[in-house]
Amino acid sequence: MKRVLVVCGTGIATSTLVADKVRKHLESVGIDARVEQATVMDLHRGASGFDLVVATAQVTQDVGVPVVKGLAFLTGMGVDEALAEIEGHLRD
Amino acid sequence: MGEDERSDTVSLGELVAAESVLVGRPLADDASAIVALGDLLVEAGATSADYAAACIARERTDPTGLPAALGVAIPHGDPSLVRSPAVAVAVPPEPVTFRQMGDPDVTVAAHVIFLLAVQSGAAQLRALREVAALVQDEGRLRSIVAARTPEDVLAVVRQADEDVVEEVAG
């Protein structure tokens, strides 16, 4: 089981949307993953236990795992690339 | 997915009141837009009085401008200040400069601003999906920008209510 952390400014609005889309995609491609949400502030404690972070907010510090930008899921531009990047990190 | 289906029943149309739509009022910058819309949400009893200030603070650290065919911004703030979920909408005569979500060095000219007062992501998921679908729907965005009255904006939102599920699934 992989663990994905989706973060946004409030941990409520855009992370919910992005988590929804990431969860559905991972299901559809058969990757067993738990997708959780947090605020970008929570990341100051790092992302230990997670395999990947997907962020709509800017993440400037090193959180120890790859960070994929989640903006595509809101604008609709670059969604396939973002999904491929997420999948690539989780299939390692 | 099962959980989503049970909890995402509130549509965007149900969260936008005609009194919370500003059409044609000039808005100088992102903070002015948030204050103008925040006042409407306070008047509607949807948030506490300090919600706009919280949204502006959030906008400074985690901006919400979304680049699309027509730029959109979706400012929002601390969910604990929200009393009942609601969305206020501004369609200013000139776009308002916001910083881009995830990339504050980039600016977005926002033609439509949705001030989101969201309490729970799960409970307001359908409405959030509709906002995202609108951002990606140039035709509907242009209809909103062309609106002359709040009712015109609501008419577009109600259309979006009806087919958001299909749009977002794509």
**Chain A residue at shortest CA distance from B60:** A9
Residue ranges covered by each domain of chain A: 2-91
List, for residues B121-164, the tens digit of each pLDDT value: 778 888 999 999 999 999 999 999 999 999 999 999 999 888 76
**Closest to A10 (Cβ–Cβ): which among B77, B125, B135?**
B77
Count of all residues that appear for chain A in the document: 92
User: What amino acid occupies position A33?
Assistant: A
* A24/B62 Cβ within 8 A: no
pTM of the model: 0.92
pLDDT at B8: 56
* A70/B103 Cβ within 8 A: no
List, for residues B52-91, the tens digit of each pLDDT value: 999 999 999 999 999 999 999 999 999 999 999 999 999 9
* B68/A75 Cβ within 8 A: yes
| Class of the CATH-defined domain A2-91 | alpha beta
Q: What percent of chain B has pLDDT over 90?
A: 81
Q: CA distances (Å), B23 to each of B89, B90, B143, B153, in order? A: 8, 6, 12, 8
Count, in order, helices (H) and strands (E) of chain B.
Answer: 7, 6
In this prediction, residues A45-72 reach a mean pLDDT of 95
Contact list in B for residue A20 (CB cut-off 8 A) is 4, 125, 129
